[in-house]
């Protein structure tokens, strides 16, 4: 094999190795960018926290019971169009929406207390929340112990 042929083969090998390392660097940069976007996204989200604030059970089992909930936003972003409701163990909505109208929760404001009526026979209640913040719309259950 001539020196020219060996030089050409060596140049091709070096080119492929360079392409491989450039591809790996591009992959690492893409992953770093995704990590940065996720971290930035967390900084634009509201953090809705709800606690059980009491309730009343009527003596008449045909009447609904009242459940009071305290709600607060501990995140850095404002929550808009906030809705809060309860579902039963089967996932069926069993309460009206606790929030009426356009509810906005600004970060670190004092908690707001509201109430919902729930059928007396409803069991295994789960609190759900939906809202929109700088990161977009959200809807999910909350971990709240309802006594």
Q: Are residues 82 and 118 in the same domain?
A: yes
Closest by CA position to 121, among listed 52, 58, 54:
58
**pLDDT of 39:** 46
Q: Are residues 72 and 29 in the same domain?
A: no
* Percent with pLDDT over 90 in the chain: 31
For residue range 53-95, list pLDDT tens digits in order: 988 877 777 788 888 999 999 999 999 999 999 998 888 998 8
**pLDDT of 131:** 94
CATH number of 55's domain: 2.60.40.10
Mean predicted confidence (pLDDT) in 119-134: 90
Q: Are residues 36 and 93 in the same domain?
A: no
Q: Which domain holds residue 96?
A: 48-142
Mean predicted confidence (pLDDT) in 11-20: 76
Give yes or no for a contact between 85 and 69, defined as CB atoms under 8 angstroms apart.
no
Mean predicted confidence (pLDDT) in 32-61: 75
Closest by CA position to 132, among listed 92, 75, 87, 94:
75
Better-predicted residue by pLDDT, 100 or 110: 110
Judged against a pLDDT cut of 90, whether residue 103 lies above it is answered with no
């Amino acid at each position: 094999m001539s020196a020219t042929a060996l030089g050409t083969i060596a140049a091709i090998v070096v080119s492929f190795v360079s392409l491989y390392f450039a591809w790996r660097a591009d992959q690492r940069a893409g992953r770093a960018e995704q990590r940065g976007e996720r971290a930035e996204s967390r900084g634009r989200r509201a953090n809705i926290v709800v606690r059980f604030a009491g309730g009343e059970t009527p003596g008449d089992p045909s009447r609904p019971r009242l459940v009071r909930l305290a709600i607060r936003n501990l995140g850095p972003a404002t929550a808009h169009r906030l809705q809060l409701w309860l579902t039963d163990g089967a996932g069926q909505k069993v309460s009206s929406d606790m929030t009426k109208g356009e509810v906005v929760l600004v970060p670190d404001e004092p908690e707001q207390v509201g109430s919902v009526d729930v059928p007396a026979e409803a069991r295994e209640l789960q609190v759900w929340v939906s809202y929109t913040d700088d990161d977009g719309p959200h809807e999910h259950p909350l971990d709240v112990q309802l006594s």
